[in-house]
Amino acid sequence: MKKVIILGSTGSIGTQTLEVIASRRDQFEVAGISAGGSDVGLLAQQVLDFSIPVVAIAREDAAEELMRALAVQAGSRDVPVPNPQILAGPEASTQLAGMPADVVCNAITGAAGLRPTLATLAAGTTLALANKESLVIGGRLVTQAAAPGQIVAVDSEHSAFAQCLRGGGRNEVRRLILTASGGPFRGRDRESLADVTAPDAMKHPTWNMGRVITINSSTLVNKGLELLEAALLYDVDLDDITVVVHPQSVVHSMVEFWDGATIAQASPPDMRLPIALGLSWPDRIPDAAAGCDWSTATQWTFEPLDNETFGAVELARCSGKASGTAPAVFNAANESCVDAFCEGRIGFLDITDTIAAVLDEHLSGDGNGVPGARHIGDEALSLDAVLAADSWGRRRAAELCARGRGQ
């Protein structure tokens, strides 16, 4: 019986992780969950459904609200009101991540997942990582804190890499091929994207995801983050990772070996498969998700990425080569821009344009003594430096976004 802690339990990955566990109660026990606190009703439902003993909530004033929700839902079920230990405040998820468990699934969105990731690694617990941002911005701080095999990828693409890499020696790898769906705007040129809206960007053709990752998929920022994640997870040079567009999202990624062979991992787009592998790695869970239907005709297509229209991948590659605090600024600027775009304060094209401007300022300037503004390389990287760069990147992007659309 594995004890599992789920960080970000009310989000897309968190709820699907609980779905995987729900039908396998003989294999997994939920030892704790965390959430931001925006959906206390769902959090209460999860506590009741899985008899969860510890709950962490980022919103400090949500503890009493959760207890009221538990009382109401327990009453409607005619069961005793549970009394879980409640951790509240900005560090609640970090505290929970350090508690005893076999696996911590970090499904928090954004840079907020960094401290919980480091706490999990420090505790010696297996980290099922869905929060790619914590690895991307933490960089070598995270990889150096991890024991061999301690981090298990939950992203479908990186889970695919892990599976494919079992087909040969690491020294035999020529390159990784990272697949991208292309998002809702695949095939369009830059000029045609000037007036797209947030609802347009939320219409992903193959995946049902949360707001930030769906917008990131439309700009290809998400693929840029995945590029950086792959390089760090599998110690592969950034120039040895190729991004290709695969609209069907069935081939989740591929590995090309030095003899010319390419091994691919294919399955219908269903996150329950990589989640199940993340919980049980290196073992597979029977019937975690449906496989491909080989009884009907189908086509899988692959296209080169249009870097002129979707420049985010190359921006990410640039930040990764600079390393140090640059990826943190890339991610922070993006998160700030996504908020501004969803609120109608900037246009779609302004997202990557603003990221580029902030990243260029970070890499080329001396920072004028402003904390986080000056680039710090891997040799001097610290948690404080990463967090300062994250804060500066958000603030600087917000300042540029305040100038409005097209500026």
**Domains defined for the chain, CATH in brackets:** 2-153 (3.40.50.720), 170-267+308-401 (1.10.1740.10)
How far apart CA 247 and CA 194 sit, in angstroms, is 22
pLDDT of residue 208: 63
Residue 10 CA, distance from chain mean position: 15
pLDDT of residue 404: 66
Tell which residue, 121, 83, 103, has the closest CA to residue 21: 103
Sites in the chain below the pLDDT cut of 50? 406-407
pLDDT of residue 406: 47
pLDDT of residue 366: 75
Supply φ then ψ for residue 263, to 5 degrees.
-110, 130
Q: Is the pTM of this model over 0.85?
A: yes
Tell which residue, 60, 59, 63, 31, has the closest CA to residue 46: 31
* CA atoms in the 13 A half-sphere facing the CB of 122: 13
pLDDT tens for residues 132-188?
Answer: 999 999 999 999 999 999 999 999 999 999 999 999 999 999 999 999 999 899 999
pLDDT tens for residues 172-191?
Answer: 999 999 999 998 999 999 99
